[in-house]
Amino acid sequence: MAYNWNWGVFLQPTATGDDSTYLDWMLHGLQMTVGLSLSAWLIALLLGAVVGVLRTVPNRWLSGLATAYVEVFRNIPLLVQLFLWYFVMPELLPEKLGNAFKQTNPIMQQFLSSMICLALFTSARVAEQVRSGINSLPPGQKNAGLALGFTLPQTYRHVMLPMAVRLIVPPLTSEFLNIFKNSAVCSTIGLLELAAQGRQLVDYTAQPYESFIAVTVAYLLLNVVVMSGMRWVETHVRVPGYIGGK
C-alpha cells in the first residue's frame, strides 16, 4: 500500500492563509472540548445534585417530577437532544428571545446549545448517582438526625449529603470521563471541537491517518489526565471503613 506518511504536516501553515499551523487547529479544538466539557460538568453537578435529592424526598409530587426529569433525559439519544436544543428550542422560545438567540454569533449559538444539552443530559446521570448514594446510607443516619431535632432539610444538609457526596465520587469519575467523550457529538452541529477539527484536518491536509491518529491520541491523553485527577480526589475524600476507604 502506497501511503506517504508525513507527520511534519502539523507544523505546516494552514491553507486558509492566516499564520496558524494545523497543530494550532488541533489545540483550538482541544481547548473547545475542555472548555465545553468543564462548563457543562459544573452545571450538571449542581442540577444533578438537586434532582437526585428530590428523588429521595418523601413527597410524591417532588420525587415524581424528578423521576420524570431523569427518564426524559435518559431515554432520548444525545444526538436528538442536541438537535432539539439547537434547531427546535430557538423556534419554541418567545419570539423576542428566539430572535435574540439567532442573532448572536454562530459559534456562541453552537456553544450554548452544546453546553445546555451536555449539562442536562449528564445531570440526569449525576442525579441517579446522587440518589443511589443517599439510598446507600444506613437509614439510622436520617433517623438519628431527625431524632436530634434537625428538620428534614437540615438532616440532608448536615448529615446525609456530606456523607453521600464522598461515597459517590468514584461513580462520578466515569460520568466525568463520559462528558468529554460525549462532547464529540457536538461536532454534528458544526461546533469546532476536537473531533470536528480532526475531520477538517483530513480535508485540508489530505493526510487522514496522521490527523485521526493525532486526534485519537489527544482523546486518550485527556482521558488519562482526567482519570489521574479524579484518582487524586478519590483518595482525599474516601470514607474510612467503607470499601476502598483507608
Partner 1 sequence: MHEFDWSSIPNALPFLWDGMLISLEITLSAVVFGIVWGTLLALMRLSSITPLSWFAAGYVNLFRAVPLVMVLLWFFLIVPHLLESLFGLPRGTDMRLTSAIAGFALFEAAYYSEIIRAGIQSVSRGQMAAASALGMTYSQAMRLVVLPQAFRNMVPLLLTQGIILFQDTSLVYVSALADFFGAAYKVGDRDGRLVELLLFAGAVYFVLCFAASRIVRHYQNKLKTA
Q: Identify which of residues 47 and 185 has a Cβ nearer to partner 1 in the complex.
A: 185
Residue 65, Cβ neighbours under 10 Å: how many?
13
Query: Under 8 Å CB-to-CB from 141, ≥6 apart: which residues?
Result: 159, 160, 163
Q: 3-class secondary structure for 28-55?
A: HHHHHHHHHHHHHHHHHHHHHHHHHHHH
Contact 182, 122 (CB under 8 A): yes
Candidates 14-22, 59-67, 69-77, 157-165; binding stretch for partner 1 (CB under 8 A): 69-77
34 binds partner 1 (CB under 8 A): no
Closest CA to 40 of 100, 106, 108, 123: 123
243 binds partner 1 (CB under 8 A): no
Element (H, E) at 117: helix 106-136
Lay out the site mask for partner 1 across 162-191 (x = CB under 8 A, - = otherwise).
Answer: ---------------x--xxxxxx-xx---
Q: Identify which of residues 150 and 212 has a Cβ nearer to partner 1 in the complex.
A: 212
All three cell numbers of 91, joined, read 423556534
Q: Identify which of residues 78 and 112 has a Cβ nearer to partner 1 in the complex.
A: 78
Quote the least distance from Cβ 134 to partner 1, whole Å: 20
Distance CA 50, CA 46 (A): 6
72 binds partner 1 (CB under 8 A): yes
Q: How many residues bind partner 1 (CB under 8 A)?
A: 41
Q: Identify which of residues 1 and 149 has a Cβ nearer to partner 1 in the complex.
A: 1
Residues that bind partner 1 (CB under 8 A): 1, 71-72, 74-81, 83-84, 87-88, 91-92, 94-95, 177, 180-185, 187-188, 195, 198-199, 202, 208-209, 212, 215-216, 219-220, 223-224
